[in-house]
Amino acid sequence: MAKITLKNLSHSYLTKQNNDSDWALRGVDIDWKDGGAYALLGPSGCGKTTLLNIISGLLKPTEGEVLFDDKDVTTLNPVERDIAQIFQFPVIYDTMTVYDNLAFPLKNRGLSETEIDSKVKEIGEMLELTSTLNNKASGLTADGKQKISLGRGLVRSDVNVIMFDEPLTVIDPHLKWVLRSKLKELHQKINRTMIYVTHDQIEALTFADQVVVMHEGQIVQTGTPVELFEKPKHTFVGHFIGSPGMNILPCEIKNGQINFEGKVLPTNTSIKKSNFNKTQVGIRPEFINFSNDGIAVKVKRVNDTGRHKVIDTECNSGSIKILASPSTQIPSGSVHITFDQKYTYAYGDNWIIE
């Protein structure tokens, strides 16, 4: 188990970089404590796999340092860092049995037969693979094979951190939930640092204590799922998290106040700066209410999903989605809405103004 620190990490796959887009990672700083469950969340191409591979040692960063327990491991290879990694598709040794697959990393580290046997049986039971231990690994289903991959990481007691690179990609949807719960359960049982990379917000939010949201090579926000939901620090976090995502619309900042649709919107955050190229206001659909006066919008459509109602509305600045409980009466035609002051935020050039 180890505390992981990333200092000013930047990486480019090109030998020369001319502009920002040539960098896969830019200036990443992270401080993760021992034994936590962390998620790296972001869309494809945002740099999360790059970051994962740098932490595990499969990739050497162009700039910056990686520290395990304050020890610089930037130049060490994966074996020396004592990490385990599970990939997007099951990586197993087809010609070996499940037992031999699990025993393999231990054999290479010179453990005795008895030690190996007890460890393999222990992990086999934890992962519910005991009945298949003597079967050929290639004969298992996709989720079974992923469990073997996971098992090979768990058998080693010296593992500092276990990394998951979108491990549920090839798993059937109805089994995804089972495996996700299993992973959470495992984390609580063995208490090792786990880093989970995904583009699926549900996976990230259910698995992790702390989520790191990435966008175009940078970390845009780190926080608990609740923090990310209630106060997105970047417009990307706003619309990536939540379903439907945050409403983000153009506005004007005058005298430290948000001017939207001709009205001043009250907010709890203090807006000190105002010289931005782009200013926007953000509010989640959950925090909008109907009222007698406020912003004028036209109701375009109401989608009843059973659990709640999603209302599409239009105003001059754009469309606004509203989430309401199933029992809410929705006036038709032209209505007025207000934003909950506590959750109204101003964004300048995509970053929150506070």
Question: Given the rule CB under 8 A, which residues bind another protein?
Answer: 56, 58, 77-79, 83-85, 87-89, 91, 93-96, 104-105, 108-109, 149, 152
Closer of 194 and 271 to another protein (Cβ)? 194
Q: How far is the CB of 163 from another protein (least distance, A)?
A: 10
Closer of 78 and 223 to another protein (Cβ)? 78
Helical ranges in 82-224 per DSSP H: 98-108, 113-126, 142-154, 173-190, 201-207
Q: How far is the CB of 56 from another protein (least distance, A)?
A: 7
| Helix 142-154 with 173-190: angle, nearest 10 deg | 10
Q: How far is the CB of 132 from another protein (least distance, A)?
A: 19
Structure-token match 């932490």, residue found: 55
Structure-token match 């990739």, residue found: 59
Q: How far is the CB of 93 from another protein (least distance, A)?
A: 5
Closer of 95 and 134 to another protein (Cβ)? 95
Is residue 261 classed as helix, strand or coil in its secondary structure?
coil
Q: How far is the CB of 339 from another protein (least distance, A)?
A: 45
Q: How far is the CB of 138 from another protein (least distance, A)?
A: 9
CA atoms within 13 A on the CB side of 225: 13
Q: How far apart are CA 66 and CA 64, in angstroms?
A: 7
Amino acid at 224: T
Closer of 36 and 153 to another protein (Cβ)? 153
Q: How far apart are CA 39 and CA 97, in angstroms?
A: 32
Closer of 87 and 351 to another protein (Cβ)? 87
Closer of 166 and 203 to another protein (Cβ)? 166
Amino acid at 266: P
Contact 131, 121 (CB under 8 A): no
Phi then psi for residue 280, to 5 deg, are: -135, 160
